[in-house]
A = this chain, B = another copy of it.
Amino acid sequence: MEFDSIIVRFSGEIGIKSEWTRRAYEKQVLQNLKQTLKFADLKPDAIERIRGRIYLKTQKPNETAKALGKIFGITSVSPAKVTSSEFSDITKIALEMVKEIIKENTTFVVRSHRSGTHPYTSMDLCRDLGEKILEAYEQFDLKVDLFNPQVTVNVEVRDQQAYVYVQTLQGAKGFPVGTQAKIIGLLSGGIDSPVACWLTMKRGCPTIPVFVDNFPFTDEKTKQKAIETARILKQWSAGHIRKMYIVPNGENMKNILQKTPRRFTCLFCKRLMYLISENIAELENALGIVTGEAIGEQASQTLQNLYVIDEAAKAYPIHRPLLGFDKLEIEAFAKKIGTYEVSIVKTESCSAVPSMPSTMAKLSAIKDAEKELDMYAMAKTAVQAAQIIEI
């Protein structure tokens, strides 16, 4: 059966907001949905927002349902067939739909929601439609199962219209991008950082991708990977991500290598990246920085080192949504987001990384060594030379 509609349900967390906030969030979902479908050349024939849901009419239900899976603020979608609220019309559609998915002994249930005035109650509808289905497919020996059915036939009756569906696809959940302030997202080309950025997007923050390019200590491919992951994140952004900062940092790294102890190199590199991000946050009116750091995952990410690098940047909070995650959990997210395959492509590892990086650096030692550098000027110069690319 060809579906002609899609029912879109908002995230549960939106439903529990105050009336004013809820309405603003639902409008943002609607706007993001329109933008996403426009980009994907899937303009629907009609869109209606009623009572905490969105109803779409479309000639491309499958592609549209798939595109909606990347819009934050949506908990689930159901491809549906619309008909009149007449019981005979509903029955006709339901019988056709059910026919395609039943086999001998299939268990099923009918569920319905109803608003408006009709000659039947929701309970009548469930019972009578259930009977029609049992009768029509007597030869399959179907059984009604209220608690654990294989097939659920759903009918949503809204005034003169009824939507019939049998399938509910999980959405991206979270809050619509654009309901929170902007945030700067540090992308490294690795697995973790796109996941961290995706999580702040999921909570509503337009996340501006920044890649600090340590070339010639890292290779060209690392940069390409960072750009590629930014492009994948863009697909989840409903138009809120369009550009990316590429910040040349090779000269600064040379400077760090010349003037500071080798075991601290990664710490200075991180401190500088934070300062660079703060400069960009100021340019962009963003209100924070997000990174992919997880406690203990790498030598640079002990709690001690996070304390030492965090101290460099106090103008904006550094948000680390992956703090408590295991590597496997992060990888599972990356696969879902679509960045995993890009992130695992082999690149030359950064040649500035020392063989024995400090895991227990003392802040006083770092501050002492840093006296040889003008970190603020280094960050400023790098940001002035940044390339802003469309993604």
Contacts and interface: CB of A to CB of B under 8 A. Distances in A.
B318 A321 contact: no
B323 A199 contact: yes
Interface stretch (A111-119, A177-185, A218-226, A227-235): A177-185
Query: Taking the full assembly, how many copies of this chain does it contain?
Result: 2
Contact of A11 (B13, B287, B323, B326): B326
A143 interface: no
Interface stretch (A158-166, A242-250, A260-268, A295-303): A295-303
Interface of A: 11-13, 173-175, 179-181, 183, 196, 199-200, 202-205, 287-288, 294-297, 302-304, 306-307, 310, 314, 316-321, 323-324, 326-328
A295 B13 contact: no
B296 A180 contact: yes
Contact of A317 (B180, B296, B302, B306): B306
Given A180-B295, A204-B295, A303-B180, A323 B326 contact: no
Contacts of A295: 180, 200, 203-205, 319
Given A12-B328, A183-B303, 11 more contacts: A12-B327, A180-B302, A180-B304, A199-B323, A203-B294, A204-B303, A288-B303, A288-B306, A306-B317, A320-B323, A321-B323
Of A294, A295, A296, chain B has the most CB atoms within 10 Å of the CB of A295
Contacts of A13: 297, 326-328
Contacts of A294: 203
Given A307-B181, A310-B317, A203 B327 contact: no
A324 B12 contact: no
A287 B307 contact: yes
A307 B303 contact: no
A78 B316 CA distance: 47
A314 B318 CA distance: 11
Contacts of A179: 296
A238 to B, nearest CB: 16
Q: What 4 A-B pairs are tightest by C-beta distance, nearest first? A: A199-B324, A321-B324, A203-B295, A310-B317
A296 B204 contact: yes
Contacts of A327: 12-13
A8 B6 CA distance: 49
Contacts of A202: 324
Contacts of A320: 319-321, 323
A314 B311 CA distance: 8
